[in-house]
Amino acid sequence: MVNDERADGPGLTREAILAALEAVKDPEIPTVSVVDLGLIYDVRVGDDMVEVDFAPTFVGCPALHVMEREIVERIQALGARRVQVRRVYRPPWTPDRMSERARQALRELGIAPPRPSAGEITPELLKGVPCPFCGSTNTRMENLFGPTSCRALFYCEACRQPFEAFKPL
Amino acid sequence: MASPSLKPNEAVSLPDPLREAVGHLLLAMADDEVLLGHRDAEWVGHAPILEADIAMASIAQDEIGHAVLWYSMLQALGWPDPDRMAYFRDPPEFRNATLVELPRGDWAFTVVRQFLFDYAEKVRLEALIDSAYPPLAAAATKVRREETYHLMHSRAWVLRLGDATEESHRRMQAALEQAWPHALGLFEPAPGEDLRVAAGIQPPEAELRVRWKAEVRPILEAASLKIPEAEPAYGGRIGRHTEHLAALLADFQMVARSGMGETW
């Protein structure tokens, strides 16, 4: 069967792959897909291989391996024989790549979405972060570091709730 | 996207003496980060306040993650895989600066060591963003952004403890006296520096050291700390270490070397 030698089964288009990757979530943020987070830079369908350019938020994030494995599995389920996930570091991932849907989903989880930070990351970006529960900007950072590399701990003076914020990067 | 995506895990072919020289630089960077990450992780459950405990855990995770990145770039140049590099080498094969192998000490020493290291890493990464070795330039671009949070953290602690109380000042100054010569050792040139500099891979270490001093001096002065006069503690980059490295590795490598095939 000649077709067996090809990476691309009948449904194996770039669009179909991106749609399938909507099901791959960051295990630490289980309602947001890797596509909405903006982690997928490119998908190339070649004759014998599908290549995915994947950008980590933080290099040391232990969830990277989980996401990469699931990306491979989802694309193989579409009929691809070989899938290679390549990590891209430049241009680095920044929150500007996150979709509005991802930002809303983060708020619903009680995580303030990151501010756009394509330029320098400055301490000002961590001031007056809007509370994901009540929207107040009367908030303060409690700790630059949190439960995952990408999250910092905050407190809202208005609704008196602690919350997490996705770090600008 | 205008600029092409560069992938650090793909080695750009290098002629042989230069491949070896780039490897020595990556090895020094990887060994520094993996061992500092281990020392930082020793604070988990022991830091003075909960926030500091969480911070040290997170910083440790970042440093070890960066080490894996540098080791994987080494692997692409023909070295063994990251696990083998981290867990199955003996002290003389490690090329870290002695700064990172020193015991964790008190909180002041931890803060001072991390501060001196973070700023050394800052100037190194900023220089490597322009490296002629594209995988290294790409990775430096990425890691430099992450390190911003380490810099904010260690700078804040130095400023807070430098002149808070008589005791905090005394401990911070003592930590600086102990750490300084070893921190200078971060800029001991790894073998092959001439080749790397000539090829545009990196600027000379002596130049990085000047930039680093210009960064840390005003912060230390603002914290009322006095930079000691001291000769650099060299040797780490050629495998000569303090007695502390063997003890560190005995702990760090114990599970991997037990031969029971444990995996995460």
Mean pLDDT per block of 10 residues along chain B (264 residues) reads: 42 86 98 98 93 95 97 96 96 98 97 98 98 96 95 97 97 98 98 98 98 98 97 98 98 88 62
Between strands A29-33 and A25-26, the pairing is antiparallel
Asked if the Cβ–Cβ distance from B59 to A145 is below 8 Å, we say yes
Q: What is the pLDDT of residues B7-50, one digit of tens each?
A: 445 557 888 999 999 999 999 999 999 999 999 999 999 999 99
Q: What single-letter amino acid sits at B166? A: E
Domain spans, chain B: 16-257
- In angstroms, rounded to a whole number, what is the distance separating the alpha carbons of residues B158 and A97? 34
What percentage of residues in chain A have a pLDDT greater than 90? Answer: 79
Chain A residues whose C-beta is within 8 A of a chain B C-beta are: 41-42, 53, 56, 58-62, 86-92, 121, 123, 142-147, 149, 153, 167, 169
Sign of CA dihedral B262, A73, A77, A6: negative
Nearest-Cα distance to chain A for B230, in Å, is 34
B139 interface with A at CB cutoff 8 Å: yes
* Residue among B190, B186, B249 nearest B35 (CA): B249
Asked if the Cβ–Cβ distance from A90 to B138 is below 8 Å, we say yes
Cross-strand pairs, B229? none
Q: What is the pTM of this model?
A: 0.93
Instruction: Classify residue B93 by burial, with Cβ atoms within 10 Å: 0-12, 13-18, 19+.
Output: exposed
Both tokens of B26, joined, read 């990556």
Q: What is the pLDDT of residues A53-89, one digit of tens each?
A: 999 999 999 899 999 999 999 999 999 999 999 999 9
Nearest-Cα distance to chain A for B231, in Å, is 34
Residues of B in contact with A87 (CB under 8 A): 7-9
Q: What is the pLDDT of residues B62-80, one digit of tens each?
A: 999 999 999 999 999 999 9
How far are the Cα atoms of A16, A22, A24, A33, B263 from residue A19, in angstroms, in the given order? 5, 5, 10, 10, 33
How far are the Cα atoms of B39, B147, B242 from residue B57, in angstroms, in the given order? 10, 15, 25
Model confidence at A145, pLDDT cuts 50, 70, 90, reads: very high
B2 interface with A at CB cutoff 8 Å: no
Mutate to test the interface with B, among A39, A84, A90 (most CBs of B within 10 A): A90
Of B6, B9, B146, the CB nearest to A90: B6
Lookup result for tokens 């440093």 = B63
**CATH topology for the B16-257 domain:** Ferritin (1.20.1260)
Both tokens of B239, joined, read 């495998």
The ipTM of this complex is 0.89
Output the DSSP codes for B103-150: ---SHHHHHHHHHHHHHHHHHHHHHHTT-SSHHHHHHHHHHHHHHHHH
Q: What are phi and psi of A142, to 5 degrees?
A: -95, -35
Count the Cβ atoms, other than its own, within 10 Å of residue B105: 17
